[in-house]
Structure 1
Amino acid sequence: MARTPGRHLTPLFDPKSVAVVGASDDPAKYGNAIAAQVLRAPGRRPVHLVNRRGGTVLGRTAAPSVAAIGEQVDLVVLSVPGAGFEAAVDDALACGARALVAITAGFAETGATGRARQQAITARVRDAGAVLVGPNCLGIADNTTELYLASGTFAPGGVALLSQSGNLALELQLRLTPYGLGFSRFVSLGNQADITLVDLVADCASHEGTSAIAVYAEDFGDGRAFAEAAAVAGKPVVLLTAGRGTASARSAQSHTGALTTSADVVAAACRDAGVQLVATPREMATVLAALGTQDRRAGRRTAIFTDGGGHGAIAADAAEAAGLDVPELGEPAQARLREVLWEQSAVGNPVDLAGMGEQDPGSYATTIEALLATEEVDTVLLTGYFGGYAASEAGLGEGGTALSVGELEAAQEIVRAHDGRPKPLVVQSMYPASPSCRILAEGGIPVFGATEDAARALAALTIREPAGPAGVPPLPPPAPVVTDPGYHSVRALLTAAGLRFPAARRITGEEQLRAAAAEFDGPYVLKALHLLHKSDAGGVALRLPDEASLLAAYREMDARLGAPAYSVEAMADLGDGVELIVGVNRDPRFGPVAMVGLGGILTETLQDVAFALAPVPAARAERLLRGLRTAGLLGGVRGRPAVDVAAAAEAVARITEVAAAHPEIAELEINPLLVRPDGALALDARAVLA
């Protein structure tokens, strides 16, 4: 899935000249809208309008073709009927065009014939050394270079929007406006025949006018390359995507494949790449507003501060729902708060002024300062009525009452207290547009009207995972191709990688069974081979104490299943162990994706699993394991000893490294991986070839 980096996109975003092919006076045609927009900056660069009939368009002389312009054109927009598209492309390339924006539809989105046309056109563009956005797109815009080639007008700002939806771009603009945010660039992705989402993320990462990258994508193309580009962007990347709820492999033959959905894969890729994954345009705007004000910091211990118990309780619930922690403050922090608050104030967390704000609006600022100073919390969320005093008296004219004046002064003090401090501070107010809240927003403290928005914004400003391996793990070089997915072949492959298995022998008859029983002591396990789900089919017999029991189990199983081969294995001691599942499923967009979780026969019932792009380094694997809902089992419960989580993590690393090195393996699974106090032992293995 590797890509050639560094595509040169200057002709696309800052061309020396522009031509619009299909420019029209007819308002019903898209060529009219594009022509009107490009003429907003006629002095920035030469602009040529092309209409096959010539004449005039929007009061300007139109050329009948790009060739008729008589000079090289750097960028050409093509808004023509599909039947004439190839000829228009050839005309533009012949005149030296280095970038094309193809509005025209009717290509890969229509099926195989359209895809073949699209591929042929893309090949011609690349052979000419040019780049192509689209086809089937709605245009581009770059406010930093005064390039307007989309039907909408975008307010200037620092957000680059890369979108497969034009209407979503319009909605996002409406939602960003209250936060004073706008766009550096807009690109309608279209079919991504040439220029892809990955190319655009990489280019926006180096664009000085862009401070954050917003993406709406339904088709990632090379999803792993997108994650890699986002991971090294050095700027916030916020992703909104659709269709994440469908299974990525409905025909999966392993537990791993059956449990891995598109939503899991995208979420894992975003977490590994540091991408903020959102579910709605409103959430995207919320996250962008937060990330545009403060740097992200490690730690999710959050202090909730309010002047009303109800707001505090609701905000605490919203914070925890957003993945933040709301711990009770310790005695040192509570003692410091008691020094600045009155007796009836609550200081445990949520911290509640309990009416003190009405007596002394300055108490908001002194409390915020105390919370920002304590080492017991990493973030602060102010929620409730703050802003209401100044809002209710905003029309009273000069001066106002002591409450409104005091609140305005408190807002200024809050900005000063927060300035230069590393801790994120977010505000939810019943009056987000009030003069007091405007002071906060202008001072770099994001203000929201909804509690859930404030909590999500604060979560966006925090980093969940501790320091350690980050980013998208590189794929290892391909290993020699596996052609035999048989049980013992897969065991041998993983054993060579350092994974431990119990002693085992493949047998096809009673004589080989007796020989196997003589090689190692019981108790024994008997497995029927060539069955992916052996337990479900009654193809596993456990705890067979001696050779006689083993032989009896073999005869019964063989009479019932008639398997071509069986495996005789040493029975592992399960007493102090925890059974895990470790698997890798190969996603068509993101490549190998690892799953770890509670294993054994209850895997699909409990569904306590976590995902990551493979291969998974041991340090990250350990964090995944300790983040499971049932992670307490690993530390020992009800008198059971703790198991060797480090050994389990190392086993995960080895398994996922093997899977990542073998692209011919569609599914690889160890279930169970028995983790005991003294190490990890793989008890079963299966593989499915692509």
Structure 2
Amino acid sequence: MGRDLTALFDPVSVAVVGASDDPAKYGHAIAAQALRANGRRPVHLVNRRGGTVLGKTAAPTLSAIGDVVDLAVVSVPAAAFEDAVDEALRCGARAIVAITAGFAETGEAGRTRQQAVAERVRAAGAVLVGPNCLGLADNTTDLFLTSDTFTPGGVALLSQSGNLALELQLRFRPHALGFSRFVSLGNQADVTLVDLLADCARHEGTRAIAVYAEDFADGRAFAEAAAAAGKPVALLTGGRGDASARSAQSHTGALTTSADVVAAACRDAGVELVATPRELAVVLAALTGGRRADGHRVAVLTDGGGHGVVAADAAETAGLTVPELHEPTRARLRTALWEQSAVSNPVDLAGMGEQDPGSYAETVAALLAAEEVDAVLMTGYFGGYAAAEGGLGGGGTALAAGEQEAARLIAARHRATAKPLVVQSMYPDSPSCRTLVAAGVPVFAGTEDAARALAASAPGAPRTGVPPLPRPAAPLPESGYLQTRRALEAAGVAFPAAREIHDETELLAATGEFGGPYVLKALHLLHKTDAGGVALGLAGPDELLAAFREMHARLGAPSYSVEAMADTTDGVELIVGVNRDPRFGPVAMVGLGGVLAEALRDIAFALAPVPADRALRLLRGLRTAALLDGTRGRPAVDITAAAAAVETITSFAAAHPEIAELEVNPLLVRPHGVLALDSRAVLA
């Protein structure tokens, strides 16, 4: 069910502690906004000097109000913060919004103070947003506790940046979007992003949730909450391009970046991941209308060949397709358009819009009705006739009126179908385009924005949800090669026969247990190949003995592993690894492996553990997936067995929280079954 945040978003009464007449103080802005509630609830102002603030009598303390305070906004110097919070709790506050800064963001001492305050708040059964936040607003309950006003609408914004909210407000306006709620996350000492996301998912006034976060705290819980939201969730996050801060000791660790982890979590949870505030606004303009395409097939409509070509390219770049229209659709278009119009796809009116703006509406209707089309992108000059009467063609008022009538017909057709329609216009602010926006048709100035909006409306990768973590297993006592190998074998991963040896006598004894060819590995080296600690294809005992003597003289390793050499002739080498992210927990990586894993970087990521069906989709999505099906006379390999091995390996790693990095590389996939040829584990 999640935490009860009713007192935070719809309190019975509000008190602003630190209210001020000084415009330079944040308590002034908060107080002025709080008083905008038009009598929805009592608003008390508290200033230690008493007197009046903004023409309203101010109490010197919360206790002096003489009534229960449901929500207290605390905007006082850091030295007075704890006393203000304690008094608010004594006065019955169920919610506190802490504007005051100077806590965890300043270092360990501040973190300790912050934790102590949060514990007192929770012990009292209250909730706290912040500290070090910019407040919150809920347009559905007339609660205004931030310095800025937000246009009402259906988007809840949960943000670690106040200025980002202001930019989004500007970018929302052309799309007739607004905010249901805004919450500045602050330090998340008590109420977290996950708590707020879950509450906004239940909030009737919120249609979509936008998040800007630099610190997820519990990223896996965020993904779980987003997957369960039942509403569109879009995420803009900073620092995704930085590699993991810790020093990676395996290929898996070296290849896994923060960007990979966040992208995998978003894909699994069905979150739209964006890179800029502009893209965030574009995606929300598409998603708040509630329209989702059944597929990726887009029809492009233009009144100029150049715009059509650019739009088709943009659509394909965004992951959509622009298929040729079927003959029945083309026949319908021919009856509505003139001879020089192109009716394949893109559909080009070829100047007919200048003669008859109604041709836009007829063509849109035909394309939306076409069974081979999942969505429509109209691009180019539409909007220009009404934007400047007497524009192209000199049609003047008649053309402007015709275009506006076409816009009304397009809007009506849009309302009558579930398919998405998106418009790119050279004149997005024209009356005709405003008619479309009012009807819920997203209109953009940029072609790439229109294509991105359609991509957001199209089906994404199958939403797998966030896999539950298995019950922790008994910790591994050691992470050496043979210990890791034995643990994986016990879990069900097949390896070639092997024996640990320390001297020549034990080496020759191993040759009596299994035949060659052999592999010799120096143990207690993390990267054995890089150190020259692996010898392959040793035909018999004599070659094995010679290789041992050379390697031991050079490396002096305390022990070695003698192993049966696997036949790799018809196999494909994969890498399967798990890297434990501090925010999202175990993250799996699968890809083309062997010694070229880092150079080729043909890899895919998912939150671990990875079920076999999900692993199969990851493998099929690799650039080199064709190798798995056999090429140039090579047989297809057992990809089903490979997917099962991925499930086993990732489940094993997820059940061992003491493992920071686990890797099986290569995992040899053969026409029948798989064989792990090497493995390594790094303990946290």
Determine which of 370, 382, 397 is the counterpart of 1:386: 382
Q: Cα distance, 1:435 vs. partner?
A: 2.6
Shift of 1:281: 1.1
Instruction: Write the distance in 1 (CA, Å) between the matches of 2:263 and 2:488.
Output: 28
Residue 642 (structure 2) aligns with: 648
Match 1:458 to one of 454, 460, 463? 454
Equivalent residue, structure 1, for 2:370: 374
Say whether the 8 Å CA contact 2:385–2:391 is kept in structure 1.
Answer: no
Task: Say whether residues 1:616 and 2:629 are aligned partners.
Answer: no
Partner of 1:176: 172
Tell me which amino acid in the other structure corresponds to 2:493.
Answer: L
Query: Which of these residues, 513, 522, 525, is aligned with residue 519 of structure 1?
Result: 513
Which sits farther off after the overlay, 570-579 or 413-422? 413-422
Gaps of 5+ in 1: none
- Please say if 1:208 is aligned against 2:204: yes
Per-residue deviation, 1:249: 4.0
Structure 2: any 5+ residue segments left out of the alignment? none
2:104/2:187 contact within 8 Å kept? yes
- Counterparts of 1:522-541 in structure 2 under 5 Å? 522-541=516-535
Name the counterpart of 1:563: 557
Once residues 480 and 376 of structure 2 are traced to their aligned partners in structure 1, the CA distance between those partners, rounded to angstroms, is 56
Amino acid at match of 2:159: S
Does the aligned pair in 2 maintain the 1:580–1:672 contact within 8 Å? yes
Deviating more after overlay: 556-565 vs 417-426: 417-426
Aligned match of 1:59: 55
Deviation digits for residues 506-560 of structure 1 (CA, Å, limit 9, x no counterpart): 2222222222222222211111111121111111111111121111111111111
Equivalents in 1 of 2:297, 2:391: separation in Å?
39
Instruction: Specify the code of the residue in structure 2 equivalent to 1:149.
Output: L
* Gap change, CA 1:483 and 1:127, over 3 Å in 2: same
Q: After the TM superposition, which residues 72-111 of structure 1 pair with which residues of structure 2 at under 5 Å, given as runs?
A: 72-111=68-107
Corresponding residue for residue 673 of structure 1: 667
What is the rounded CA distance, in whole Å, between the counterparts of 1:196 and 1:8 in structure 2? Answer: 13
Deviations 1:648-669 (A, max 9, x none): 1111111111111111100011
Count of aligned residue pairs for this structure pair: 682
Q: TM-score, normalised by structure 1?
A: 0.95
1:445 equivalent to 2:444? Answer no
Q: What CA RMSD, in Å, does the superposition of the two structures yield over aligned residues?
A: 2.0
The alignment partner of 1:39 has SS state of helix
CA shift for structure 1 position 568: 1.5
Residue deviations 1:422-456, cap 9 Å, x none?
Answer: 33221111111223222322222211111111011
Instruction: Give the secondary-structure state (helix, strand or coil) at the position aligned to 1:506.
Output: strand
Deviation, structure 1 residue 605 = 0.9
How far apart, CA to CA, are the structure 2 residues paired with 1:630 and 1:60?
71
Q: Which residue of 1 aligns with 2:473?
A: 479
Determine if the alignment matches structure 1 residue 283 to structure 2 residue 298: no
Contact 2:639–2:669 (Cα < 8 Å) also in 1: yes
SS in 1 for 2:427: coil
Deviates more, 1:64-73 or 1:415-424: 415-424
1:508 corresponds in structure 2 to: 502
Cα distance between partner residues in 2 of 1:567 and 1:373: 67
How far off is 1:395 after superposition? 10
**How high is the TM-score relative to the length of structure 2?**
0.96
Q: Deviations over 1:601-635 (max 9, x none)?
A: 11111111111111111111111111122222222
Deviates more, 1:441-450 or 1:116-125: 441-450
| Aligned with residue 14 of structure 2, among 11, 18, 23 | 18
Q: Percent identity?
A: 76
1:402 Cα offset (Å): 4.7
User: Structure 2 vs 1, CA of residues 485 and 631 (structure 1 numbering), >3 Å: closer, same or farther?
Assistant: same
CA offsets per residue over residues 162-208 of structure 1, 9 Å max, x none?
11111111111111011111111111110000000000000010011
Amino acid at match of 1:354: A
Does the 8 Å contact 1:249/1:260 carry over to 2? no
Query: Counterpart of 1:127?
Result: 123
Structure 1 distance, partners of 2:189, 2:204, is 26
Q: Quick one: structure 1 residues 113 and 365, their matched pair in 2 at CA, closer, same or farther if it must change by over 3 Å?
A: same
Shift of 1:117: 0.6
Counterpart code for 1:142: D
Flag the 1:423–1:524 CA change in 2: closer, same or farther, 3 A. Answer: farther
Alpha-carbon distance between aligned partners in 2 of 1:367 and 1:620, rounded to the nearest angstrom: 41
Measured in 2, the distance between the counterparts of 1:172 and 1:606 equals 39
8 A contact 1:295–1:461 mirrored in 2 = yes
Tell me, what secondary structure is at the counterpart of 1:40? helix
Match of 2:492 among 489, 498, 508: 498
What one-letter code is carried by the residue in structure 2 that aligns with 1:281?
Answer: P
Q: 1:470 to 1:108 in 2, by over 3 A?
A: same
1:232 aligns with 2:228: yes
1:48 aligns with 2:40: no
Question: 1:336 Cα deviation (Å)?
Answer: 5.5
TM-fit CA distance, 1:39:
0.7
Instruction: From the superposition, tell whether residues 574 and 345 of structure 1 become closer, same or farther in structure 2 (CA, over 3 Å).
Output: farther
Q: Contact 1:583–1:669 at 8 Å: present in 2 too?
A: yes
| Counterparts in 2 of 1:168 and 1:70: CA distance versus 1, 3 Å | same
Letter of the 1:592 counterpart: P
Alpha-carbon distance, 1:311 to partner: 0.9
SS in 2 for 1:519: coil
| 1:592 corresponding residue in structure 2 | 586
CA contact (8 A) 1:137 1:190 kept: yes
Distance 1:18 1:125 in 2: 17
Alignment of 1:249-260 (within 5 A): 249-260=245-256
Which of 415, 420, 437 is the aligned partner of 1:419? 415
Task: Quote how far apart the aligned CAs of 1:237 are.
Answer: 0.8
In structure 2, relative to structure 1, the CA distance for the partners of 1:578 and 1:249 (3 Å cut) is farther
Match of 2:163 in 1: 167
Match of 1:150 in 2: 146
SS at match of 1:193: coil
Q: Is structure 2 residue 335 aligned with structure 1 residue 350?
A: no
2:188 counterpart residue number: 192
Paired residue for 1:435? 431
Asked if structure 1 preserves the Cα contact closer than 8 Å seen for 2:389 and 2:399, the reply is no
Instruction: Indicate the larger mover: 159-168 or 301-310.
Output: 301-310
Conserved? CA contact 1:475–1:660, under 8 Å: yes
Aligned to 1:118: 114
Residues 622 and 649, structure 1, Cα contact 8 Å, conserved in 2? yes
**Structure 1 326/628 Cα, relative in aligned 2: closer, same or farther at 3 Å?**
farther
Instruction: Measure the CA separation in 1 of the matches of 2:266 and 2:437.
Output: 28
Change (3 A) 1:332 1:260: farther
Cα deviation 1:29-49 (Å, max 9, x = unaligned): 111111111111251111111
Q: Which residue of 1 is the match for residue 320 of structure 2?
A: 324
Cα distance, 1:130 vs. partner?
A: 0.8
Counterpart CA distance in 2 for 1:139 and 1:8 is: 18
Once residues 324 and 564 of structure 2 are traced to their aligned partners in structure 1, the CA distance between those partners, rounded to angstroms, is 50
Letter in 2 for 1:407: E
1:101–1:319 Cα change, 3 Å? same
Cα distance between partner residues in 2 of 1:401 and 1:308: 22
User: What's the CA shift for 1:380?
Assistant: 2.1
CA distance in structure 2 between the aligned counterparts of 1:330 and 1:564, rounded to whole angstroms: 71
Alpha-carbon separation, structure 2, partners of 1:526 and 1:304: 61
Distance 1:189 1:521 in 2: 64
Paired with 1:305 and 1:653, the residues of 2 have a C-alpha distance of 46
Please say if 1:137 is aligned against 2:133: yes
Closer, same or farther in 2 for the Cα pair 1:628/1:338, shift >3 Å?
farther
Secondary structure at 1:463 match in 2: coil
- Residues 66 and 92 of structure 1 are in contact (CA less than 8 Å); yes or no, is this contact kept in structure 2? yes
Question: CA shift at 1:341, angstroms?
Answer: 4.2
Give, in whole Å, the separation in 1 of the partners of 2:230 and 2:244: 30
Q: Is the 8 A contact 1:379 1:424 kept in 2?
A: yes
Deviation at 1:89, TM superposition (A): 1.0
Q: For structure 1, which segment, 441-450 or 215-224, has the greater mean C-alpha deviation from structure 2 after superposition?
A: 441-450
Counterpart of 1:683 in structure 2 is 677
Which residue matches 1:582? Answer: 576
Query: Are the equivalent residues in 2 in contact too, given 1:294–1:444 (CA < 8 A)?
Result: no
Whole-Å separation in 2 of the counterparts to 1:537 and 1:369: 67
- SS at the partner of 2:473? coil
